[in-house]
């Protein structure tokens, strides 16, 4: 059974946008466990994981997303 979860991104420089995703109860339980372990809410946990994976895959950024000023960028 899939459940729709509504997530509101934390307030940052850019305006937060409400998003949704579908997850099984098991996936949702795993997300809650990881969030609790890190002391974050589910929204912050997902955003953190996405950011980490994005910079792992695209260390120099993309055409639309550039590294922050002063960030150390390793060559690919």
The ranges assigned to domains in the chain are: 2-57
> Looking at per-residue confidence, does 9 or 25 come out higher?
25
Check pLDDT > 90 for residue 31. Answer: yes
Detail the DSSP E strand segments found in the chain.
2-8, 18-24
Contact, 46 vs 34, CB < 8 A?
Answer: no
Percentage above 70 pLDDT, the chain: 79
The H or E element containing residue 33 is helix 25-38
Q: Band the pLDDT of 20: cuts 50, 70, 90.
A: confident
Check pLDDT > 70 for residue 8. Answer: no
């Amino acid at each position: 059974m899939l459940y729709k979860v509504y997530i509101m991104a934390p307030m940052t420089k850019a305006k937060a946008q409400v998003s949704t995703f579908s997850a099984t109860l098991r996936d949702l339980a795993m997300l809650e466990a990881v969030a609790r372990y890190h002391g974050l809410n589910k929204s912050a946990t997902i955003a953190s994981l996405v950011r980490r994976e994005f910079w792992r895959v695209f260390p120099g950024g993309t055409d639309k997303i550039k590294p922050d000023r002063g960030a150390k960028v390793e060559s690919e």
